[in-house]
Structure 1
Amino acid sequence: MTHSPWSCTATRSDAGVLNVGGVSVTDLASQFGTPLYVVDERDFRARASAFRDHFSAAFARHGAQVDVFYASKAFLSSQVAGWMHEDGLCIDVASLGELEVALRGGIPASRIGLHGNNKQIDELTRALTVGVGRIIVDSFTEIDVVNELAGSLGVKAPVMVRVTTGVHAGGHEYIATSHEDQKFGLSLATGAALEALLACHAAENLTLLGIHTHIGSQILSIDAFRESADRMLRLRAAFVDAAGVELPEVDLGGGYAIAYTEGAEALDPADAAVEIADAVAQVMEPIGGTWPRFSIEPGRAIAGPAGMTLYSVGVVKRVSLEDGGERQYVAVDGGMSDNPRTIMYGAQYSAAIASRESDVTPVLSRVVGKHCESGDIVVRDVDLPQDIARGDLLAVPATGAYGRSMASNYNNALRPAVVAVRDGAAKVLVRRDTIADLLDWDVPA
């Protein structure tokens, strides 16, 4: 199914000014400066609620329950954590910093899952002390470490085993997470996953909740989820045969694709929910036994489409191409420091003039940043009008995930603020870096 990359409240005024959440981008730029991450709160929360409602309804048809875990790595602030709690979602974290921000936002620890292939002692200690709902163990080493640490703290650690199912899905190889030759999980094919489950079951200070998998990101095929669910549930049945008890929980992962450009494909949560729930039912029927409680992880599909980045245009120039054509280069006041995905993954984005209307013929353009790198590209290929000029505002949609969370201070750039808009009002979620911040981090002789 094709989708627009713009959030649901994005509109244009008669003068061509882009409005989001009832606020014009010209007002946002004037008040908060650029570059600026803009989050459409209504769109963000509607997407979260859609995953919650569609998956709950689809699995309820089979008498099962589902939890939805928001991906904090996509974008996290304490206010966003509060939204997710209000909207009935859980949250996954993969660092001490993410855990603390989630707790600050009011998420009960019992609704937090701790991920990571190499969790540190301080992260595990904090997680066990506050009582997180699940720790997803990723290796035999970690099983031993968590068991020993829980014993020293006098608690039982609730754990799930991350399983590498061998189902390959996702786009770039760096975001496909279920093939054998990578750092995450314990292999289903070699028997390591079952062995790990039995080790957790036998460990004195662990409470084994179940199994977890994540097969990749930016996934468009339901077939991948169907095959992964089949393998996970058969592993659960194998554990029953080996240990004589049923695992109460199964996390089916996520990584649902979003549209980054106009007319691109995206995975619809309503369709995905029904097909995945029905696929699970087909597997469970011959296996028998009690249905587990399921969970899913939509990944970027909540935050990504709800956000955009607003830039000010600086230098515009045209260069000749080898084929005799021409490309327009549009330089903005941000770049790879606020969105590294283009240079890291070859990610495709779109862009549009946001501060006015233009009826001038568009030409092939490349949106680039201000950093000292020829690869500092924000949007590789996009049609923009020939009259685009210094001072125009340029908007890049679908940057709500992995923009601010992957942002850096390369060239000592200041990371942009994140502002939420809704019903004509704007509020800061994360403030902009300042020169004072940079000087505070620096330690003089």
Structure 2
Amino acid sequence: MPIISNKGQHMPASPIRKLTPFAEKAKSEGKKVYHLNIGQPDIETPEGMLNAVKNIDFKVWAYTASEGTLSYRKKLTEYYNKLDYNIAPENIIVTTGGSEAITIAMMTCLNPGDEVIIPEPFYANYNGFACQSDIVVKPILSYIDNGFALPAISEFEKLITDRTKAIIICNPNNPTGYLYSQKEMQALKELVLKYDLYLFSDEAYREFCYDGRDFISPMHLDGLEENVIVMDTVSKRYSACGARLGCLITKNKEVLKAALKFAQARLSPGLVEQIAGEAAVDTPDAYFETVNKEYTHRRDVLVNALNQMDGVFCPNPGGAFYVVAKFPIDNADRFCQWMLESFSYHNATVMMAPATGFYSTPGAGQNEVRMAYVLNSNDLKSAMNCLQEALKVYPGRVEAEALADS
């Protein structure tokens, strides 16, 4: 029998989705499953975006330009220039979700065997995208004790070799919710310029910054015009994950020229999605203000509940809609599976993502779990009650003294 490729064998499974069969089995047994494992918001998609789809009147569902329709790119330019990105439509390549923006950026800027430094824990699919492109991920640990702040620049420099070509940041961060400061971004700028690196900036959660804190993009930092590639998506901003619509943005003309060839190879982004995306740019500010208040409330419900549990520690994130919490458990993968297979409270259980899948360093995140606060506050409270009871009886519970010694 033919065998699959080495790449197929090494491609990592998603920590966000790999426990789905256990969740489906729990549902088939009549259990309610609170899904905190995946960043699928329950916030309604803006009405204008949905209406644009309902009112489509084209006669032929045709290809679009490989870089995206000019009308959509012009509209996107309005959005980004309100944020002081100072770009033109030709600085944008529309992609099939943020995922394609990441893969095109990697294939355009990095050769097989090149190294990319990523603060971890990081978005799990970076590992998968790197595997697809034969790129080497060099992880640099951030720590839960200081809320997953950017590691010291000296730690980055220890990892830089002749094969280092880029740094990837996700800001606000998935999975930690950490929001990088002006000082941290300035330090990254100096590092990137010193070693002439690309800085990939994943900005999927730009709109979700809390407590009056500001979002800083490398696009706001002078002198990085040739180094920065922004990777973005409409999925989270407009609660439109199923639209699969994103974009790559850069002022580097050589990158744009090469990236367009990869975009041409996959033909074009979807026409209907771009119609919806164009309408989305006109979403009133009031929509985002309401959503921001809602997520701030949900964050507070979740973080407060977690930190009241015996043996649990959860930093208070400054953005996105995720937390990574440290639990008194022996193994996050085992615990998350046990929750679905063997535990219920009032005939309900909780699906979470083991944080191990968000690390590249072997053994990291063994007692950490990522949760997405994408459910309404009543469901979050019920999920936290369920989780609290589960931690009391989990067979692999580890007391604080043992965790401190590990």
Q: Would you say same fold, with TM above 0.5?
A: no
Task: Specify which structure has the higher proportion of helix.
Answer: 2
Indicate the structure whose relative CO is greater, using CA pairs within 8 Å and at least 6 residues apart: 2
Q: Which has the larger radius of gyration?
A: 1
Normalization by structure 2: what TM-score? Answer: 0.25
The TM-score normalised by the length of structure 1 is: 0.23
Q: Which has the higher strand share?
A: 1
